[in-house]
Structure 1
Amino acid sequence: MGGPAADLSDYFSDYFRDRLSRLDAVLDELEGLNLRGMTHLPVRLGNQLIEFGIDDPYDKTVTDLIDRVFELEEPLLSMVRLRPRPVRRAHRDAGRLPGPSL
């Protein structure tokens, strides 16, 4: 019963969570490259970084890219923290076993 404003709020909350999740996946890949000492950025990963607005990712070090992804995540983290996902509560009697009959 939240109405259109609540629907819009849920949309943006889901958008921020999805973007944060995608950035986190990219960050995991970059950290993996860094741990293996790899300096060559795979094209697919470079394209993802470009889609996130990072210019010339192929001209940057992996550690610089990790720092940049952290910078992109920071405002999203604060947005997600400000708007916690609503918890959908089941009916309070749902799932209860019937009590003894008297």
Structure 2
Amino acid sequence: MSKEIPTLEFVVRSITDQGSLLTLTLQQEIKTEPIDQIEILKHRIDGIKDLDEDTREVMKKLLPALFGPQIPQRNSAYSPIQMHITITRQIYERLASPKVGETIGVSLSRL
């Protein structure tokens, strides 16, 4: 049974050319989705065991009036991974010579 190795997306932030060696600075590409605070509160209300169904519905109906129109916020719960790798020019060319700003995939696993 083989495990699928997840591939993380990294953006090339800088490339330092040292002749036959190149050092790439990579930063993890974090894709976030908008978070609606009212939806989060509705889920929390659903999780309260001591409330009856009618009370839950009343509380959910009050939320839009209390908070008004909101712009969904983009939140990320963790800091992006940043790494530096030094590779030969030959390997860099085999990777299709990624430029600054381009995205590459990196798979990490324990051996």
TM-score calculated relative to the size of structure 1: 0.26
Who wins on radius of gyration, i.e. which is larger? 2
TM-score calculated relative to the size of structure 2: 0.25
Which is richer in strand?
2
Which is richer in helix?
1
